[in-house]
Amino acid sequence: MHTEREKMLRGELYDADDPDLVAARNEARALTEEYNRTAATETNRRRELLEELLGTVGEECRIEPPFRCDYGDNIHVGDACYANVDCVVLDVCPVTIGDDCLLGPGVHIYTATHPLDPAQRADGLEYGEPVTVGDNVWIGGQAVLNPGVSVGDDSVVGSGAVVTSDVPEGVVVQGNPATVTTELSSEG
């Protein structure tokens, strides 16, 4: 028998009201509230809080407050990443962000989702699908990455785009749903 957390991480239906999951979310909220109250000059304290909150945090990673997440420990961020203000990550499953990534203001990354069956939704069950962002990716402001998507290396997600399916390497996607509008040259 798997715990609700194990089911959650496996992408299976689970009960989000499980006391252990509620406690973990409350702990993450307390850490993000503390993080969001830090001053811009408190770079060491911000780093300490990110290391306590997130699963892994690369070198020279900066996340501008306010920042919100569900659990934190399912978020893995590479080196030299920057997330602007108001980013939200619903991390019921792993969220992996590669090196040298830029997230614009208000970017939302969702792994959490709900069953299509109304009876299962009424029972309070939910599940998740992991999200992966490759290296050297720029995600424009207020873009949304939906559960289960991946964004390939060197790609750009335009501002306001809603990514509902995988983004290949080296492209620009825009719109709702996001579609490829430009193929980027590897020669810069």
Q: Which helix (H) or strand (E) covers residue 120, if one does?
A: helix 118-122
Q: Tell me, yes or no, if 76 is annotated catalytic.
A: no
Q: Spot the catalytic one: 2, 76, 108, 114.
A: 114
What contacts 24+ positions apart, CB below 8 Å, involve 110-116?
Answer: 110/144, 110/145, 110/146, 110/147, 111/74, 111/147, 111/148, 112/70, 112/147, 113/146, 113/147, 115/13
Please say whether the beta carbons of 114 and 121 come within 8 A. yes
Strand partners, 180: 173
Please, which residues have CB within 8 angstroms of residue 123's CB and are 6 or more apart in sequence? none
Residues in the chain: 188
The residue written with tokens 């750009």 in the block is 156
Please say whether the beta carbons of 174 and 161 come within 8 A. yes
Active site residues: 114
